[in-house]
Amino acid sequence: MDDLYREVIIERYKNPAYKGTLEPNDISFEDENPLCGDHIRIDLRMNNGGKVAEAAFSGHGCAISQASADLLLESIIGKTLDEVKALSRQDILDNLGIELGPVRLKCALLPLKVLKAGVYGLGQATDSLVEDE
């Protein structure tokens, strides 16, 4: 527990840097974690060079999922969509710097699932988007 709520996670949860919505946007997608009802929407604006210029997330969720979203969006500014598609479960765990059990892993991975589903233009955020081979 003590490790789970590292200062960075509490801090990002309380004072997220990327919380909000972008209207208009180039990519927007939202979905939820069916286990707990957490809901996340992610909006992206792209620049002329095909890189992520701005990103924002909205919705509701626990400290883990919200901090994970905030850190994820920070990490993709300036990245191409191909680079975003290549993000993995491990990148999320590296962002958070914690070990997670199977239940809380779902919370942490929800933002990446939603982001990837939006970037791929899918109708639904599925687990297969964040499973490492």
Partner 1 sequence: MLTHTLSQYLDVARVREDFPILEREVKPGVRLVYLDSAATSQKPLSVIRAIDDVYLHYNANIHRGVHTLAEESTAAYESARQRIAAFIGAARPRELVFTRNTTESINLVAYAWGLANLKAGDVVILTEMEHHSNLVPWQIISGLTGARLEFIPVTEEGFLDLDAYKKLLELKPKMVAFTHMSNVLGTITPAKEMIAAAHSASALTLLDGAQSVPHFAVNVQDLGVDFLAFSAHKMCGPTGIGALYGREALLEAMPPFMGGGDMIRKVFLRSFTPNELPHKFEAGTPAVAEAVGFGAAVDYLNKIGMAPIAEHEHALTAYALEQLKDIPGIRILGPDADHKGGVVSFSLEGIHPHDAAQVLDGDGIAVRAGHHCAMPLHERYHLPATARASFYLYTTREEINLLVKGISKVQKLFA
Stretch that binds partner 1, among 7-15, 18-26, 70-78, 90-98 (CB under 8 A): 7-15
In the stretch 97-126, what mask flags binding to partner 1 with x, by CB under 8 A? -------x--x-------------------
Instruction: Give the one residue of 2, 23, 82, 133 binding partner 1; rule: CB under 8 A.
Output: 2
Check residue 93 for interaction with partner 1 (CB under 8 A): no
Spell out the residues 6+ positions from residue 43 whose beta carbon is closer than 8 angstroms to its own: 21, 22, 23, 25, 27, 28, 55, 56, 57, 58
Spell out the residues 6+ positions from residue 83 whose beta carbon is closer than 8 angstroms to its own: 76
Q: Which one, of 73, 80, 74, lies nearest residue 47 by Cα?
A: 80
The residues of the shown chain that bind partner 1, judged by CB under 8 A, are: 1-2, 4-5, 10, 13-14, 35-39, 60-64, 104, 107
